[in-house]
Protein backbone atom coordinates (compact mmCIF):
# COMPACT_ATOMS: atom_id res chain seq x y z
CA UNK A 1 0.00 0.00 0.00
CA UNK A 2 1.08 3.58 -0.52
CA UNK A 3 0.17 7.11 0.44
CA UNK A 4 -0.65 9.01 -2.76
CA UNK A 5 -0.16 12.73 -3.49
CA UNK A 6 -3.40 14.72 -3.15
CA UNK A 7 -4.28 17.19 -5.89
CA UNK A 8 -4.75 20.84 -4.99
CA UNK A 9 -7.35 23.34 -6.22
CA UNK A 10 -6.39 24.46 -9.73
CA UNK A 11 -5.31 21.00 -10.87
CA UNK A 12 -7.45 20.35 -14.00
CA UNK A 13 -8.59 16.83 -12.99
CA UNK A 14 -10.34 18.34 -9.95
CA UNK A 15 -12.41 20.68 -12.06
CA UNK A 16 -13.78 18.34 -14.72
CA UNK A 17 -16.24 15.44 -14.70
CA UNK A 18 -14.77 11.97 -14.12
CA UNK A 19 -15.35 8.84 -16.21
CA UNK A 20 -17.09 5.62 -15.09
CA UNK A 21 -15.15 2.77 -13.53
CA UNK A 22 -15.23 -0.16 -15.97
CA UNK A 23 -12.68 -2.64 -14.62
CA UNK A 24 -13.28 -4.16 -11.18
CA UNK A 25 -9.97 -5.98 -11.02
CA UNK A 26 -7.01 -6.40 -8.68
CA UNK A 27 -5.59 -3.06 -9.84
CA UNK A 28 -8.78 -1.28 -8.78
CA UNK A 29 -8.72 -2.96 -5.38
CA UNK A 30 -5.07 -1.96 -4.91
CA UNK A 31 -6.01 1.60 -5.83
CA UNK A 32 -8.86 1.55 -3.31
CA UNK A 33 -6.48 0.31 -0.59
CA UNK A 34 -4.10 3.19 -1.40
CA UNK A 35 -6.99 5.65 -1.29
CA UNK A 36 -7.97 4.44 2.20
CA UNK A 37 -4.37 4.74 3.37
CA UNK A 38 -4.05 8.23 1.87
CA UNK A 39 -7.35 9.35 3.42
CA UNK A 40 -6.31 8.04 6.81
CA UNK A 41 -2.93 9.79 6.62
CA UNK A 42 -4.36 13.13 5.44
CA UNK A 43 -6.46 12.73 7.67
CA UNK A 44 -9.86 12.94 6.06
CA UNK A 45 -13.30 11.35 6.14
CA UNK A 46 -13.66 10.96 2.38
CA UNK A 47 -11.44 10.91 -0.69
CA UNK A 48 -12.44 10.93 -4.36
CA UNK A 49 -10.31 9.61 -7.24
CA UNK A 50 -9.82 13.09 -8.83
CA UNK A 51 -8.11 14.04 -5.58
CA UNK A 52 -5.38 11.53 -6.34
CA UNK A 53 -5.20 12.66 -9.94
CA UNK A 54 -7.52 10.06 -11.51
CA UNK A 55 -10.62 11.06 -13.45
CA UNK A 56 -12.62 8.06 -12.23
CA UNK A 57 -16.09 7.96 -10.70
CA UNK A 58 -14.86 6.46 -7.45
CA UNK A 59 -14.62 7.57 -3.83
CA UNK A 60 -13.94 6.11 -0.41
CA UNK A 61 -15.30 7.22 2.96
CA UNK A 62 -14.62 6.43 6.60
CA UNK A 63 -16.21 8.39 9.42
CA UNK A 64 -17.19 7.63 12.98
CA UNK A 65 -20.05 9.59 14.44
CA UNK A 66 -18.74 11.03 17.74
CA UNK A 67 -22.27 11.02 19.14
CA UNK A 68 -22.96 7.29 18.91
CA UNK A 69 -19.60 5.78 17.89
CA UNK A 70 -21.08 4.29 14.71
CA UNK A 71 -18.72 4.09 11.73
CA UNK A 72 -19.54 4.38 8.06
CA UNK A 73 -16.79 3.03 5.84
CA UNK A 74 -16.97 2.02 2.22
CA UNK A 75 -16.18 2.35 -1.45
CA UNK A 76 -18.49 3.97 -3.98
CA UNK A 77 -17.84 3.34 -7.67
CA UNK A 78 -20.16 4.80 -10.31
CA UNK A 79 -22.39 6.29 -7.62
CA UNK A 80 -25.83 7.80 -7.99
CA UNK A 81 -27.04 10.11 -5.25
CA UNK A 82 -30.55 11.28 -4.38
CA UNK A 83 -30.92 14.23 -2.02
CA UNK A 84 -33.70 15.33 0.28
CA UNK A 85 -34.78 18.93 -0.39
CA UNK A 86 -32.33 21.53 0.90
CA UNK A 87 -33.82 23.65 3.69
CA UNK A 88 -33.65 27.34 2.72
CA UNK A 89 -31.88 29.85 5.01
CA UNK A 90 -35.11 31.70 5.73
CA UNK A 91 -36.59 28.49 7.16
CA UNK A 92 -33.50 27.42 9.09
CA UNK A 93 -30.56 29.76 9.63
CA UNK A 94 -27.12 28.53 8.70
CA UNK A 95 -25.30 27.17 11.76
CA UNK A 96 -21.68 28.04 10.96
CA UNK A 97 -20.35 25.70 13.62
CA UNK A 98 -22.35 22.65 12.59
CA UNK A 99 -22.43 23.23 8.83
CA UNK A 100 -18.83 24.11 8.02
CA UNK A 101 -16.88 21.71 5.83
CA UNK A 102 -13.42 21.44 4.37
CA UNK A 103 -11.65 19.64 1.54
CA UNK A 104 -8.26 17.95 1.37
CA UNK A 105 -7.77 19.64 -2.02
CA UNK A 106 -8.19 23.09 -0.46
CA UNK A 107 -5.94 22.45 2.55
CA UNK A 108 -6.61 24.16 5.88
CA UNK A 109 -9.64 26.08 4.62
CA UNK A 110 -13.23 25.59 5.84
CA UNK A 111 -16.46 27.35 4.95
CA UNK A 112 -20.11 27.00 5.90
CA UNK A 113 -22.40 25.39 3.36
CA UNK A 114 -25.99 24.22 3.53
CA UNK A 115 -26.38 20.61 2.39
CA UNK A 116 -29.28 18.19 2.11
CA UNK A 117 -29.94 16.42 5.41
CA UNK A 118 -30.60 12.98 3.93
CA UNK A 119 -29.28 11.12 0.90
CA UNK A 120 -29.71 7.79 -0.80
CA UNK A 121 -26.51 6.40 -2.32
CA UNK A 122 -26.51 3.71 -4.97
CA UNK A 123 -23.06 2.54 -6.00
CA UNK A 124 -20.82 -0.44 -6.66
CA UNK A 125 -18.19 -1.66 -4.22
CA UNK A 126 -14.60 -2.54 -5.19
CA UNK A 127 -15.81 -5.92 -6.51
CA UNK A 128 -18.47 -4.34 -8.72
CA UNK A 129 -21.29 -5.45 -6.39
CA UNK A 130 -24.13 -2.93 -6.36
CA UNK A 131 -25.43 -1.63 -3.02
CA UNK A 132 -27.76 1.01 -1.71
CA UNK A 133 -27.45 2.94 1.58
CA UNK A 134 -29.15 5.89 3.22
CA UNK A 135 -27.24 8.51 5.19
CA UNK A 136 -28.19 11.56 7.19
CA UNK A 137 -26.52 14.52 8.87
CA UNK A 138 -22.75 14.67 8.59
CA UNK A 139 -22.62 11.31 6.79
CA UNK A 140 -25.00 12.70 4.15
CA UNK A 141 -22.72 15.74 3.84
CA UNK A 142 -19.71 13.49 3.19
CA UNK A 143 -21.58 11.71 0.39
CA UNK A 144 -22.59 14.99 -1.26
CA UNK A 145 -19.06 16.38 -0.97
CA UNK A 146 -17.41 13.29 -2.47
CA UNK A 147 -20.06 12.84 -5.15
CA UNK A 148 -19.51 16.46 -6.22
CA UNK A 149 -15.81 15.72 -6.76
CA UNK A 150 -16.79 13.25 -9.51
CA UNK A 151 -18.53 16.05 -11.38
CA UNK A 152 -15.60 18.42 -11.04
CA UNK A 153 -17.40 20.39 -8.32
CA UNK A 154 -15.59 21.41 -5.16
CA UNK A 155 -17.61 22.65 -2.16
CA UNK A 156 -16.09 26.11 -2.73
CA UNK A 157 -18.13 26.25 -5.97
CA UNK A 158 -21.35 25.87 -3.97
CA UNK A 159 -20.81 28.60 -1.37
CA UNK A 160 -23.17 31.55 -1.19
CA UNK A 161 -22.08 34.66 -3.09
CA UNK A 162 -20.27 36.54 -0.32
CA UNK A 163 -18.59 33.45 1.16
CA UNK A 164 -17.55 32.31 -2.31
CA UNK A 165 -15.91 35.66 -2.98
CA UNK A 166 -14.09 35.50 0.35
CA UNK A 167 -12.95 31.91 -0.35
CA UNK A 168 -11.60 32.75 -3.81
CA UNK A 169 -9.64 35.67 -2.37
CA UNK A 170 -8.20 33.39 0.29
CA UNK A 171 -7.34 30.71 -2.31
CA UNK A 172 -5.52 33.38 -4.37
CA UNK A 173 -3.70 34.61 -1.26
CA UNK A 174 -2.59 31.07 -0.41
CA UNK A 175 -1.43 30.61 -4.01
CA UNK A 176 -3.33 27.36 -4.72
CA UNK A 177 -2.80 26.74 -8.45
CA UNK A 178 -2.81 22.98 -8.83
CA UNK A 179 -0.07 20.52 -8.05
CA UNK A 180 -0.19 18.12 -5.13
CA UNK A 181 0.67 17.66 -1.47
CA UNK A 182 1.51 14.36 0.18
CA UNK A 183 0.28 13.46 3.67
CA UNK A 184 2.76 12.12 6.21
CA UNK A 185 2.27 8.53 7.39
CA UNK A 186 -0.22 8.06 10.20
CA UNK A 187 0.94 8.29 13.80
CA UNK A 188 -2.40 7.69 15.46
CA UNK A 189 -3.69 10.98 14.09
CA UNK A 190 -7.15 12.13 15.09
CA UNK A 191 -9.70 12.24 12.27
CA UNK A 192 -10.60 15.62 10.84
CA UNK A 193 -13.69 16.62 8.95
CA UNK A 194 -12.23 17.05 5.50
CA UNK A 195 -12.85 15.24 2.26
Residue numbers annotated as active site: 146
**Is position 44 an interface residue for Ni ion (rule: CB under 5 A)?**
no
Q: With respect to Ni ion, which residue has the nearer C-beta, 159 or 187?
A: 159
> Shortest Cβ distance from residue 149 to Ni ion (Å)?
6
Can you list the pairs that 160-168 forms with residues at least 24 positions away whose Cβ atoms lie under 8 Å? 163/111, 163/112, 163/113, 166/111, 167/109, 167/111
Q: With respect to Ni ion, which residue has the nearer C-beta, 56 or 103?
A: 103
**Is position 183 an interface residue for Ni ion (rule: CB under 5 A)?**
no
Residue 152: phi and psi, rounded to 5, are 75, 20
**Is position 6 an interface residue for Ni ion (rule: CB under 5 A)?**
no
User: Which residues lie across from 46 on neighbouring strands?
Assistant: 61
> Shortest Cβ distance from residue 9 to Ni ion (Å)?
10
> Shortest Cβ distance from residue 103 to Ni ion (Å)?
3
> Shortest Cβ distance from residue 181 to Ni ion (Å)?
13
**Is position 58 an interface residue for Ni ion (rule: CB under 5 A)?**
no
Q: With respect to Ni ion, which residue has the nearer C-beta, 123 or 147?
A: 147
User: Which residues lie across from 82 on neighbouring strands?
Assistant: 120
**16 DSSP 8-state letter:** S
CA distance 141 to 116: 7
**125 DSSP 8-state letter:** -
User: Which residues lie across from 61 on neighbouring strands?
Assistant: 46, 74
End-to-end CA distance of the chain: 20
Per-residue binding string, Ni ion, 80-119, x by CB under 5 A, is -----------------------x----------------
Q: With respect to Ni ion, which residue has the nearer C-beta, 79 or 195?
A: 195
**36 DSSP 8-state letter:** H
Q: Which residue is nearest to Ni ion (CB)?
A: 103
**Is position 195 an interface residue for Ni ion (rule: CB under 5 A)?**
yes
- Residues whose CB falls within 8 Å of the CB of residue 153, separated by 6 or more in sequence, listed in order: none
**Is position 79 an interface residue for Ni ion (rule: CB under 5 A)?**
no
Q: Site residues (CB under 5 A) for Ni ion?
A: 103, 195
Amino acid sequence: MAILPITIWGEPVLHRAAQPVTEFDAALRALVADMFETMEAAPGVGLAAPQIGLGLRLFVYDWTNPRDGRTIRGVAANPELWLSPVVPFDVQELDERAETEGCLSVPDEAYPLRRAHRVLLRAQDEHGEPYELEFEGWAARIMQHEFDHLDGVIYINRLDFMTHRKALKEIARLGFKGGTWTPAPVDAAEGAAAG
